[in-house]
């Protein structure tokens, strides 16, 4: 896509906003993310924004001037920003997208009710407080920048190790922001240290009723990760462990009230139910 094509895409986008669009979907169908206009998004009418293959900058990702916006969907996008923020969005889906390689993008959307963070590249984003969160699905699929072959907890001891020490952050990255969820899915497929590192500051999941984990949390002869998260989930009722299962697929996409998980009939999985003490 050349400069003129990019300019036309941006012109169309702004034209749609001027005509008070409520649902805006943009997919440029290009193999590399295309940079969209860096101007702030301003609309009193927009309720749903769905973007694919778009490169996004800081100013665009401040949705404070879109008070009616409730649904945010990003697929195969690139986030060249420090923060994604909104005071109105209730549902956020980010799939197959790129974050920063050198810093952590902060997701500051306290109004979120539902979150899907699935298959991202580079540094894991920081999830800020989400007191209204009901359900969340977080799946680490690719070798991100939060991976070290010498350490599974991000502290290999080598001062020049960029994955472990390239960013100076001594706080919870994912789990603190997820701590208000009632239903939670945590999948780690390629050994990122981000979950184990987060457990150093593990919050208490005071509302969590249903938890689904994959085999990452149940290493043979070492159930310390599983034990830690269970100790911090005092009202948990349903624990689902998928042991060496096939890929999990979300059915019906992002619009479900609760994520549905498709399982193969022959998968070796089981479910434990705990009753409140």
Beta bridge partners of 48: 23, 71
Q: Is-contact 91 254, C-beta < 8 A?
A: yes
According to the model, what pLDDT value does residue 190 have? 79
- The DSSP code sequence of 99-117 is --SSSPPEEE-TT-SEEEE
- The residue that leads in pLDDT, 204 or 253, is 204
pTM for this entry: 0.84
Which of helix, strand or coil describes residue 250? strand
Q: Which helix (H) or strand (E) holds 4?
A: helix 3-18
Cα–Cα distance for residue pair 229/51, rounded to 1 Å? 34
Once rounded to an integer, what is the mean pLDDT over residues 57-83? 94
According to the model, what pLDDT value does residue 85 have? 97
According to the model, what pLDDT value does residue 135 have? 98
> How many C-beta neighbours within 10 Å does residue 151 have?
17
- Reported as a single tens digit per residue, the pLDDT across 25-56 is 988 776 677 777 777 888 999 999 999 999 99
Once rounded to an integer, what is the mean pLDDT over residues 243-252? 50
Cα–Cα distance for residue pair 218/236, rounded to 1 Å? 18
Q: Give residue for tokens 């498709």.
A: 262
- The DSSP code sequence of 134-185 is -EEEEEE-S--SS-BTTBSSS--S-TT-HHHHSS---S-SSHHHHTT-SEEE
Domain boundaries, the chain: 3-273
User: What is the bridge-based pairing of β-strands 261-262 and 249-250?
Assistant: antiparallel
Question: Residue 103 — very low, low, confident or very high, per pLDDT cuts 50/70/90?
Answer: very high
Handedness of CA 166, 171, 177, 182 (dihedral sign): positive
**Does residue 251 carry a pLDDT above 60?**
no
Tokens standing for residue 244:
């060496």
Q: State the greatest distance between any 2 C-alpha atoms of the chain, in Å, as a whole number.
A: 64
- Reported as a single tens digit per residue, the pLDDT across 168-193 is 878 899 999 999 999 999 999 877 89
> How many C-beta neighbours within 10 Å does residue 42 have?
12
Cα–Cα distance for residue pair 94/87, rounded to 1 Å? 18
């Amino acid at each position: 896509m050349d400069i003129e094509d990019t300019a036309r895409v941006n012109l169309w986008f702004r034209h749609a906003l001027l005509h008070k669009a409520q649902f805006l979907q943009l997919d440029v169908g290009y193999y590399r993310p295309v940079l969209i206009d860096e101007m702030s998004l301003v609309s009193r009418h927009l309720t749903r924004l769905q973007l694919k293959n778009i490169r996004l900058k800081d100013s665009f990702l401040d949705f404070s001037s879109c008070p009616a916006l409730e649904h945010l969907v990003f697929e195969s996008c690139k986030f060249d920003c420090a923060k994604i923020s909104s005071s109105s969005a209730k549902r956020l889906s980010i799939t197959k997208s790129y974050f920063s390689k050198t810093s952590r993008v902060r997701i500051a959307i306290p109004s979120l009710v539902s979150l899907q963070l699935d298959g991202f590249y580079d540094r894991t984003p920081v999830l800020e407080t989400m007191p209204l969160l009901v359900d969340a699905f977080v799946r680490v699929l690719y070798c991100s920048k939060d991976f070290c072959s010498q350490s599974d907890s991000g502290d290999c001891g080598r001062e020049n190790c960029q994955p472990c020490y390239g960013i100076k952050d001594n706080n919870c990255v994912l789990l603190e922001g997820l701590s208000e969820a009632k239903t939670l899915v945590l999948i780690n497929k390629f050994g990122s240290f981000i979950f184990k590192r987060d457990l150093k500051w593990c919050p208490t999941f005071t509302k969590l009723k249903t938890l689904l984990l994959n085999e990452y949390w149940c290493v043979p002869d070492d159930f310390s990760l599983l034990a830690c998260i269970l100790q911090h989930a005092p009202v948990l009722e349903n624990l689902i462990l998928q042991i060496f299962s096939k890929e999990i697929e979300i059915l019906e996409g992002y619009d479900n009230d609760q994520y549905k998980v498709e399982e193969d009939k022959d998968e070796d999985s089981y479910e434990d139910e705990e009753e409140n003490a």
